[in-house]
Structure 1
Amino acid sequence: MGTNGIHHITGIAGPARRNIAFYTETLGLRLVKKTVNFDDPTTYHFYYGDGSGAPGTILTFFPWEHAAPGRAGVGSTQETAFRVPEAAIGYWTHRLLEKGIAHGTPQKRFGQTVLTFKDPDGTSLALVGVPGIEAEQAWSEGEVPAEHAIRGFFGITLLVPEAGPTGAILTDVLGFKEIAREGSLVRYASDASVGGIVDLHEAGGFLPGHLGGGSIHHIAFRTADDAAEAEMVKRLAENHKIETTEQRDRQYFRSVYFREPGGVLFEIATDIPGFAIDESEASLGTALKLPPFLEPRRREIEPILPALV
């Protein structure tokens, strides 16, 4: 798996218990980390992914109990897609129907079978059937059998006014290259087999998106370490006149943030140190983990957070 591609994707959700139930039970992902929003520790921050929380598998959420619905539009994420074995699309179609989850009929996109659906907050999701990935490891300790389980991200679709300016950032800074066009979609791919696709949907004239429940807050792209991240920050400034935030320590990775030309909030996140820094891989997601600067406030924070059982 290459070192470019998507690191994680972060969305906004409603009730925390509902969010956990959908992603761990219905979709069969592992709750890799249970922590809080470092900027607003009155709400949780959940990380879902594979067994180890590998880059390219992590979908995270800030669940606000009474989040108002968001609105899709220009400058936002249109769809977040996961990889499943090609033969598993039939299983998933039946599973979504059985669970009462509204979904589309399987369709072809760039020659691959895509099954679209939404989570309880309206987040637009998809499963993409990928041939030849049956032997890849997958988290299977939930309801979904290993042969049908999700195997990380396929990619994302962004709604942007025009593909060119955003594509320039993807290709010059983030390690992608344009590989195909289909209608109003322009596809970019990185060297990563997991989380290696970004589709740009040119949607000039659409209303801008509005953050809220069911919307994606930001997309994080991978970088190996601090030195590689600094080089990407330099390239953004010198080649594209885009300044990032200062580096922020997110405990499990170190990040910088910026708005790409289409208006989407991008993050560059280091692969290191990873999610096993404060709990073993076997116990990931079982305890509420707080960063060192919030640990002294644990007795204050824990009673404020919504009950999960």
Structure 2
Amino acid sequence: MSAAVSVRPSGSEYVSFAVMPEAIDWWETRLGACNVSCRRASTADGRPSLMFEDPDRTPLALIGSDLIPATIWSPPDIPAALAVRALLGVTVSMRGAELMARILMEVLGFAEIASAGDQISFSAHGGPGGRLWLHRRREEPRPRLGAGMIHHVAFRAKDEADLAAMAEMLQARFGIAPSPVKDRYYFRSIYFRGPDGILIEISTDGPGFLIDETRETLGARLIIPPSLQDRQEELLRILPPLDRSFADQGDSELA
């Protein structure tokens, strides 16, 4: 699904997660109780949303949605009906919005579904990660990399044949030459620069994250792909623990 963006949080670019519309009030109260500043907003297609930032100031949003994924993870202190249901999509901000809209629709399989003010809504499918909101940035300074930036988000390709077809369309329709295919162990990727120089990735679904762990244990421990094995100790030092129990497990959880 979406585009790689290098941006300073400004409220016009963020990663969004789906919750039931009636859960917005509950989450506003919960975030406030946790001393996390948030504000109400709405998307171009009228969906209620709650905007906030993570500890690195990465902009995030909870958006009211009727999305019903196959599995919803709900920790003990959050009622299942109010839990975050899935990744919904991303909002990207750029001055070259018209060109990006064409790339979305002609190459990446999105359709425009709504437009309001400076924001256009696109959908690729009705499942998790299928939405993208494109914000037309005016005369703001060009964004720079740093803490709180969204470096990139990858659009999906079904397989390597689909990846090659997208690369061919980029060249034929837009004169954009993507990178050679990169083997990322869990998937294959190509990269190219879009409007405003943003970095965009397209990645295959396979081989997938089940090549070195089972579905039942997926995400329970830190897995280092072969290309990064020599940096295992360094990465363990700099990656923040998700909770204290994870931190206490130390090297025994590395594979």
TM-score of the superposition, structure 2-length normalised?
Answer: 0.84
Structure 1: runs of 5 or more not aligned: 13-69
| CA displacement at 1:88 relative to structure 2 | 1.4
Counterpart amino acid of residue 117 in structure 1: F
For the aligned residue pairs, the C-alpha RMSD in angstroms reads 2.7
Greater per-residue strand proportion: 1
Q: Residues 162 and 245 from structure 1, CA distance in 2 versus in 1: closer, same or farther, beyond 3 angstroms?
A: closer
User: 2:126 matched to 1:189?
Assistant: no
Residues 187 and 197 in structure 1, CA contact (< 8 A), matched pair in contact too = yes
| CA displacement at 1:266 relative to structure 2 | 1.0
Greater per-residue helix proportion: 2
Q: Which has the higher contact order (CA 8 A, sep 6+)?
A: 1
Partner of 1:114: 49
Selected match of 1:140 from 70, 74, 84: 74
Map 1:1-309; keep pairs closer than 5 Å.
5-6=1-2, 71-72=8-9, 78-105=13-40, 107=42, 109-131=44-66, 133=67, 136-141=70-75, 143-295=77-229, 297=230, 301=234, 305=238, 308=241, 309=247
Q: Secondary structure at the match of 1:127?
A: strand
Q: Secondary structure at the match of 2:40?
A: coil
Residues 110 and 182 in structure 1, CA contact (< 8 A), matched pair in contact too = yes
| CA displacement at 1:77 relative to structure 2 | 7.2
Identity of aligned residues (%): 36
Q: Residues 184 and 10 from structure 1, CA distance in 2 versus in 1: closer, same or farther, beyond 3 angstroms?
A: closer
Residues 69 and 127 in structure 2, CA contact (< 8 A), matched pair in contact too = no
| CA displacement at 1:284 relative to structure 2 | 2.0
TM-score of the superposition, structure 1-length normalised?
Answer: 0.70
Residues 5 and 199 in structure 2, CA contact (< 8 A), matched pair in contact too = no
Q: Which moved more, 1:98-107 or 1:166-175?
A: 98-107
Deviations 1:75-94 (A, max 9, x none): x9711111111221122111
- Size of the aligned set, in residue pairs, is 242
| CA displacement at 1:290 relative to structure 2 | 2.1
Deviations 1:217-272 (A, max 9, x none): 01200111111001001111111111111111222221111111233211101111
Runs of 4 or more, structure 1, over 6 Å off, are 9-12
Q: Secondary structure at the match of 2:18?
A: strand
